[in-house]
Structure 1
Amino acid sequence: MIRLCLLAPVAGLLAFASPLAAQPRDRVLEAAALYADHVVVPNIVYLRSDGYESKLDVHRPRDVSKPRPTVIFIHGGGWVGGSKEGSMLAVLPYLAMGFAAVNVEYRMAANAPAPASIEDCRCALKWVIANAKQYGFDTSKIVVTGQSAGAHLALTTGMLTQAAGFDDRCPTPAGSGVAEDNPKVAAIVNWFGITDVWDVVQGANTRGYGVRWFAGVENKAEVARRASPMTYVRP
């Protein structure tokens, strides 16, 4: 049952200088101290689709003698903005607790309309499972979380099954261990993510970002239904 519910040496932070510069000094120092015992593997391509490379960053302890519980973090931004770099510090509490972390970017409205972001995040989950041995992920202890639009995507990543039709673009390398159609997660943490997509696309609470995400989509109501976590809730 799904329960709903950080450097390399400081020089290694240069790739993330812009987001860190906006953070309080004590948070930056905290991150630097924590990452002395961690490794960051940035910008791993987990999916190529529609001419776009979707990437993720792996943050893992240097000690890989045992598999680690793993958090998949998905940034927010209304499916139209945001970045994994801007959300880097969100994974610090998990790393402090001994987790590995996977910080995910995905196709947003400017690159591809709905449901591309859902497809990407589902593929990121399958990538984590396929590469668990290499990076020391414990596939029995995967947590998916995010904020706002990222939380909506965390819900769809963890709740949907192959039958929802969003996994067709995911690569499944031979011997990857991703033979199962419906990979399981241990928990989903929803930080103010929506559960009814139609409500922000053309419903009572229509928002510009929802309209932009669905621009050019045919059968909007049906796609919104399939993209809504509440569609998949069962007793």
Structure 2
Amino acid sequence: MKKIFILCGILMANFSLIAQDATAVKKVTYPAGYTEQIDVVYTKVNDWEGKLDLYLPPAQNGPSPVVINIHGGGWNKGNKESQTGFSGFFKRGYAVANIAYRLTGVATAPAAVEDTRCALIYLINNAKKLNIDPNKIVIMGGSAGGHLALMGGLLENNPIFDTNCKGTKNIKVAAIIDKYGITDVWDWGYGTLKTSKSATSWLGDKAKDKDFAKSVSPLYQVKKTSPPVFIVHGDADPIVPYEQSVALKAKLDELGVKNEFITVKGGQHGKFEAEDNRMVNAKIMDFLKGLGL
């Protein structure tokens, strides 16, 4: 009996460690002179609060460009606290807005898109107070976050998903950084290359509505006026098919939208070799520099 108690104690201790790891918070390191504002509420929907973390450069430097960062996780998991690695932006004087959004367990599509738009609108409306330049907003994400970054930016002034944040005009981002994001939700859910439960779960009661799936798919939001897009995708991605980014690239080229597409040879889903990561980060910064950002 004593051995059983000891074994149970060990198992409980191990479970506790695992649970702590699953909810671990990564601290963002930023340069001297920067300030942080954590868990700023950018929108409320019933009893849910949309929060973002802000990292702001010294005010005396003048209005700064800002990057909105969106975590991935198939729209059903993940959190903003898992996100770090903004040093390249900090070195160039960017502010960073790291956002949370409603996951599938809280609300299905288009909730995450609505929240992304609200975060963007919040920053535009509060640009003067936060000392950021509303003409230099970059929106970025990986996987489901890449999808949301694309939707947030490609919708431009289309208010279809701005129900919770009405009234703002001239909504336009300066650039979109899409890291292996979903570009066609219907194809991800039912396509020949992948049948993702994350896609059908996120679509919820509209899981069989192809027109709705298109309305929340970046591939169908591209216009001649769309902002420049940087795309990176590993050609061995087992989660989001590489072909999704190929299709987006083709659509951008067809409509004459400035873009750059980086293929990581042998790259998995966000799992790139250290050398490839350095290359991608350098290419992102070069892309933004070329846009005057």
TM-score, with length taken from structure 1? 0.79
2:85 counterpart SS class:
helix
Equivalent of 1:231 in 201, 211, 220 = 220
Q: In terms of Rg, which structure is larger?
A: 2
* C-alpha RMSD of matched pairs (Å): 2.0
Aligned residues: 201
Deviates more, 1:43-52 or 1:150-159: 43-52
Contact 1:72-1:142 within 8 A present in 2 as well: yes
Displacement of 1:221 in angstroms is 1.4
Relative to 1, partners in 2 of residues 1:64 and 1:42: Cα closer, same or farther, differing over 3 Å? farther
Whole-angstrom distance in 1 between the partners of 2:153 and 2:45? 21
Where does the alignment leave 5 or more consecutive residues of structure 2 unmatched?
A: 1-22, 224-254, 256-293
Equivalent of 1:52 in 48, 54, 61 = 48
TM-score, with length taken from structure 2? 0.64
1:211 counterpart SS class:
helix
Matched, 1:141 2:136: yes
4+ runs deviating over 6 angstroms: none
Tell me the residue number matched to 2:267: none
Whole-angstrom distance in 2 between the partners of 1:51 and 1:90? 31
Q: Percent identity at matched positions?
A: 39
Contact 1:72-1:104 within 8 A present in 2 as well: yes
Give the AA of the match of 1:123. Answer: C
State how 1:203-214 maps to structure 2 within 5 Å. Answer: 203-204=191-192, 205-214=194-203
Where does the alignment leave 5 or more consecutive residues of structure 1 unmatched?
A: 1-16, 22-27, 173-177
Whole-angstrom distance in 1 between the partners of 2:177 and 2:31? 24
Whole-angstrom distance in 2 between the partners of 1:193 and 1:50? 29
- After superposition, the C-alpha distances for 1:117-161 in whole angstroms (9 at most, x for unaligned) are 001001111000000011111111110001111011000000014
Tell me the residue number matched to 2:79: 83
Matched, 1:18 2:14: no
- After superposition, the C-alpha distances for 1:16-66 in whole angstroms (9 at most, x for unaligned) are x93338xxxxxx8xx2xx343211101111111142111111111133441
Equivalent of 2:179 in 191, 197, 201 = 191
